[in-house]
Amino acid sequence: MNQCVHILFLLVVLILVTTTATNQLVAVGGGGGDGNGVMKKCLDNERDALLVFKAPLQDPFGCLYTWRAEEDDCCKWKGVTCNNKTGYVTGLNISLCLLEGEISHSLVNLSYLNHLDLPANFFNGTIHRSIGSMTQLRYLDLSANSFYGTIPPEFGNLTNLQVLYLSYVGSCRVENLEWLSRLSQLEALALDGISLAKQNHWVDVILSLQKLSDLSLGGCELSQVMYPYSSSFLNSSSSSSIEGLYLGNNSLTSSMYHWLFPLTSNKLRYLYLSNNMLDGIPKYIGNLCSLERLYFFNNSAMMEFSVFLSNLSGCTSLSLQYLHASQNQFTGPLSDDIQTLTNLTNLDISNNRISDTIPMDLWSMWPSQLTYLNLSSNNISGNAPDLSSHFDSNSVIDLSSNNFYGPMSNVSSTVASLDLSRNKFSGGISFICQIVDGLLQFLDLSGNFLSGPLPNCLWHFKRLVVLKLEDNNLSGRLPPSIGYLRELEVLDLYKNNFSGELPLSLKNCTSLNLMNLGANKFSGNVPVWIGENLWGLYVLILRSNSFFGTIPLQLCQLPYLQILDMSKNHLNGTIPSCLSNLTSMVQRGYPQNLHFMETSDHHVLNAYVDHAMIE
Tell me the mean pLDDT in the region 414-433.
Answer: 95
Q: Which residues contact 558 (CB under 8 A, 6 or more apart)?
A: 530, 531, 534, 535, 537, 540, 582
pLDDT category at 607 given cuts 50, 70, 90 is: low
pLDDT category at 32 given cuts 50, 70, 90 is: very low
Tell me the mean pLDDT in the region 552-558.
Answer: 94
Q: End-to-end distance of the chain based on CA atoms, in angstroms? A: 31
1 or 554: which leads in pLDDT:
554
Measuring CA to CA, which residue among 490, 600, 614 is closest to residue 562? 614
233 or 519: which leads in pLDDT:
519
DSSP tag of 28: T
Tell me the mean pLDDT in the region 246-250.
Answer: 97
Q: What is the per-residue pLDDT for 17?
A: 41
pLDDT tens profile 488-523: 999 999 999 999 999 999 999 999 999 999 999 999
Query: Biggest alpha carbon distance in the chain?
Result: 88
Q: What is the per-residue pLDDT for 361?
A: 67
pLDDT category at 610 given cuts 50, 70, 90 is: low
- CA distance linking residue 13 with residue 91, whole number of Å: 22
pLDDT category at 5 given cuts 50, 70, 90 is: very low
Asked if pLDDT for residue 259 goes beyond 90, the answer is: yes
Tell me the mean pLDDT in the region 525-538.
Answer: 96
Q: What is the per-residue pLDDT for 392?
A: 86
DSSP tag of 66: T
Measuring CA to CA, which residue among 262, 252, 253 is closest to residue 284? 262
4 or 462: which leads in pLDDT:
462
- CA distance linking residue 207 with residue 111, whole number of Å: 31
Work out whether the CA dihedral 364, 370, 376, 379 comes out positive or negative: negative
pLDDT category at 77 given cuts 50, 70, 90 is: very high
pLDDT category at 600 given cuts 50, 70, 90 is: very low
pLDDT category at 31 given cuts 50, 70, 90 is: very low
Q: What is the per-residue pLDDT for 336?
A: 60
Q: What is the per-residue pLDDT for 493?
A: 98
Pairing outcome for strands 391-398 and 370-374: parallel
Q: What is the per-residue pLDDT for 410?
A: 87
Q: What is the per-residue pLDDT for 19?
A: 41
Tell me the mean pLDDT in the region 182-200.
Answer: 97
pLDDT tens profile 134-166: 999 999 999 999 999 999 999 999 999 999 999
Q: What is the per-residue pLDDT for 358?
A: 83
SS3 256: helix
- CA distance linking residue 567 with residue 558, whole number of Å: 19
Asked if pLDDT for residue 25 goes beyond 70, the answer is: no
Displacement of CA 588 from its chain's centroid (Å): 28
DSSP-assigned beta bridge partners for residue 609: 594
Tell me the mean pLDDT in the region 29-35.
Answer: 39
- CA distance linking residue 445 with residue 400, whole number of Å: 9
Q: What percent of the chain has pLDDT over 90?
A: 75
Q: What is the per-residue pLDDT for 12?
A: 42
pLDDT category at 63 given cuts 50, 70, 90 is: very high
pLDDT tens profile 311-320: 998 999 999 9
pTM of the complete model: 0.87
Q: What is the per-residue pLDDT for 54?
A: 97
Q: What is the per-residue pLDDT for 587?
A: 72
Displacement of CA 267 from its chain's centroid (Å): 26
Q: What is the per-residue pLDDT for 367?
A: 67
Q: What is the per-residue pLDDT for 2?
A: 43
Q: What is the per-residue pLDDT for 584?
A: 84
pLDDT category at 589 given cuts 50, 70, 90 is: low
Q: What is the per-residue pLDDT for 613?
A: 56
Tell me the mean pLDDT in the region 19-34.
Answer: 38
Per the CB < 8 A criterion, the answer to whether 357 and 383 are in contact is no
5 or 433: which leads in pLDDT:
433
For residue 189, with 0-12 CB atoms within 10 Å meaning exposed, 13-18 middle and 19 or more buried, which class applies?
A: buried
Displacement of CA 281 from its chain's centroid (Å): 25
